[in-house]
Amino acid sequence: MHFSIAITGFVALYIFMLAAFGGWVIIGNVPAILHTPLMSGSNFVHGIVVIGAIYTLLNASTVPEQLIGCSAVLLGAGNVAGGYAVTDRMLAMFKSSGKQSGKHSRAVHAKKS
C-alpha cells in the first residue's frame, strides 16, 4: 500500500496560485541593489529540481530512462551547486561595506514604502 501525497485538480491550482503570490510578494519590495543576487538566488532555489531528478533516476527501469535520468541529476546538481556558490559569493561582498549597511538598508526600505 502506498502512503504518498496526492495533489490533484484544484488543490494543485491552489498551491500554484499561493506560491505565485508568495513569489510576487517576496520580490515586491526588493531594492534594485539586490536584483542580481536575487536573480541568482532564485536561480539556486529552482535548483530543487535536483530532488525530482534523483527521484526520477531512482525509479528508472530502462536504459534510456537511466541515461536521461543521469543527465537530469547532473544538470540539476550543477544548477543547485553553481547557483549557491555564485549567490553566496555575491552576497559575501555586500557584507564588506560594514557599519553603513544597516543604516542604508533601512533608508532604502523607507524610500520604497
Please report whether residue 112 would count as binding another protein according to CB under 8 A: no
Map residues 57-86 to x or -, x wherever contact with another protein holds by CB under 8 A.
xxxxxx-xxx-xxxxxxxxxxxxxxxxxxx
Q: Which three cell numbers stand for residue 6?
A: 496526492
Number of residues that bind another protein (CB under 8 A): 95
CA distance 51 to 27: 25
* Residue 25 CB, nearest approach to another protein (Å): 9
13-52 footprint of another protein as x/- string (CB under 8 A): --xx--xxxxxx-xxxxxxxxxxxxxxxxxxxxxxxxxxx
Q: How far is CA 35 from CA 26, 27, 40, 48, 90, in A?
A: 12, 9, 9, 21, 11
The residue type of 71 is S
Nearest-approach distance from CB 94 to another protein, in angstroms:
5
